[in-house]
Amino acid sequence: MKRALITGITGQDGRHLAEQLVGKGYQVFGMVRGQNNPKGQMVQDENPALELVDGDLQDLSSLIAAVEQVQPDEVYNLGAISFVQLSFKQPELTGDITGLGVLRILEAVRIVGGTVDNPIRFYQASSSEMFGKVRETPQNERTAFHPRSPYGVAKVFGHYMTMNYRESYDLYACSGILFNHEGEKRGLEFVTRKITNGIARIKLGLQDSISLGNLESQRDWGYAGDYVDAMWRMLQQDEPDDYVVATGETHTIREFLDVAFALAGYESWEPYVTHDVRFDRPAEVDLLLGDATKAKEKLGWTPTVSFPELVERMYLADLKSEQSTMRSRRR
Ligand code: GDR
């Protein structure tokens, strides 16, 4: 039975990945921070086969202890301060967890190491935010980075550190440069989920409008379940490498609103969307569009959920969950 350790287990990707790995017969360990972390209980209830271990990306000795305890075949580093907007408010914390955290977990993997026949394989969650003010379109593995937020800068550090450990210590270490990926488990602070949840609540009379920031930015949005499959595939190759994971389609926030409101039966979204400067960012990433040719050719990976299907499954899941919350409140 293979053993996997996942940091960021309470986030969208951690939850999807744990579910898929358990389905493949792995013994899966999720790292959680702090005593009585309520989110730890939530993921444990969702996935009873999952085992939780203590550890903190800000604390190297806790990471060494976690890796030593689990003795994993594979480590997936998905833990980070991942909300770009928050990274402008807490740049130092973001640098510490999203950036230096990668170095710490790499150190733990290097020190514990696994066996000669079976060294630990490492996955780093790199991000399309590293491309920032894009140098070319579409973006691929050779496109130069120009991050536009403390989050993006920290991810670039983690990305290069992963390459450096691969080259210096012959570690089987891969980075997946994942473009935006969404779904029913997406946090409510991210724009897609904020919109689908907002529409469901408008539909049920629970709120009047949705306040948003910049509607002009363009994103290459895929389905999170597809993207965690790409992570796993990266760790099953003969040689470690870096891969872009994307759909190859880009849409503005306006287009997302068009599709989502139309699905819910509204002719126009304009009466329901207001602008709030608090959601504008000091520096914006205007356009992301990924070229995942390498992942397709080498990993045999392709996205399976189209843009309209993604919007639909998110909206329907939000509608269902808001309806069931309403029903349980009435009882
Ligand atoms: P992003 O995702 O920053 O691309 O990073 P997010 O959904 O937060 O923003 C996407 C775009 O929407 C614009 N926007 C708003 N965003 C939010 N969150 N809230 C709003 O009200 C709003 N209004 C407009 C943003 O300005 C931006 O242009 C995500 C994260 O998951 C990262 O961790 C990950 O690395 C990248 O995707 C790939």
Q: What are 143-165's pLDDT values in tens digits?
A: 999 999 999 999 999 999 999 99
Q: What is the arithmetic mean of pLDDT over 86-98? A: 98
Q: 118: number of CA atoms within 13 Å, CB side?
A: 7
> What's residue 114's pLDDT?
75
For a mutational test of ligand 1's pocket, the pick from 130, 159, 180, i.e. the residue with the most ligand atoms closer than 8 A to its C-beta, is 180
pLDDT at 202 (0 to 100): 98
Burial bucket for residue 263 (CB in 10 Å: 0-12, 13-18, 19+): middle
Looking at residue 322, its pLDDT comes to 97
In the prediction, which pLDDT does 36 show?
83
Q: Quote the pLDDT of residue 294.
A: 98
Q: What is the pLDDT of residue 227?
A: 98
Does the Cβ of 182 fall within 6 Å of ligand 1? no
Residues 179 and 249: beta-carbon distance below 8 Å? no
151 is annotated as an active-site residue: yes
Is the per-residue pLDDT at 116 higher than 80? no
Q: What is the CA radius of gyration of the chain?
A: 20
Q: Is the CB of 279 under 6 A from ligand 1?
A: yes
Q: Is the pLDDT reported for residue 317 higher than 90?
A: yes
Q: Tell which residue, 109, 253, 244, has the closest CA to residue 193.
A: 253
Q: Which residues contact 107 (CB under 8 A, 6 or more apart)?
A: 60, 63, 64
Q: Determine the pLDDT at residue 35.
A: 77
Asked whether 7 lines ligand 1 (CB < 6 A), one says no
Q: Whose CA is nearest to atom 28 of ligand 1?
A: 217
Q: Whose CA is nearest to atom 15 of ligand 1?
A: 191
CA of 98 to the centre of ligand 1 (A): 16
The answer to whether the CB of 44 falls within 8 A of the CB of 53 is no
- Looking at residue 178, its pLDDT comes to 98
Per DSSP, 136 falls in state S
Residue where the block lists tokens 């000795």 = 61
- Is 214 touching ligand 1 by the criterion CB < 6 Å? yes
Q: Which domains does the chain have, with CATH numbers?
A: 3-182+222-245 (3.40.50.720), 191-218+250-288+305-330 (3.90.25.10)
**102 alpha-carbon distance from chain centroid:** 15
Give every CB contact of residue 220 below 8 A, 6+ residues apart in sequence: 128, 179, 180, 246, 247, 248, 249, 250, 288, 289, 290
Q: How buried is residue 164: exposed, middle or buried, by Cβ count under 10 Å (0-12/13-18/19+)?
A: middle
Q: Is 129 in the pocket of ligand 1 (CB under 6 A)?
A: yes
What are the pLDDT digits (tens) for 46-90? 999 999 999 999 999 999 999 999 999 999 999 999 999 999 999
pLDDT class of 289 with cuts at 50, 70, 90: very high
> Does the beta carbon of 12 lie inside 6 Å of ligand 1?
no
Q: Which of 94, 219, 276, 284 to mutate to test the pocket of ligand 1 (most atoms within 8 A of CB)?
A: 219
Catalytic residue among 74, 129, 182, 184: 129
Whole-structure pTM over 0.85, yes or no? Answer: yes
Residue of 62, 87, 126, 127 with catalytic role:
127
pLDDT in tens, 18-41: 999 999 999 999 999 987 888 999
CB 139 within 8 A of CB 131: yes
In this predicted model, what pLDDT tens digit does every residue of 250-277 receive, in sequence order?
999 999 999 999 999 999 999 999 999 9
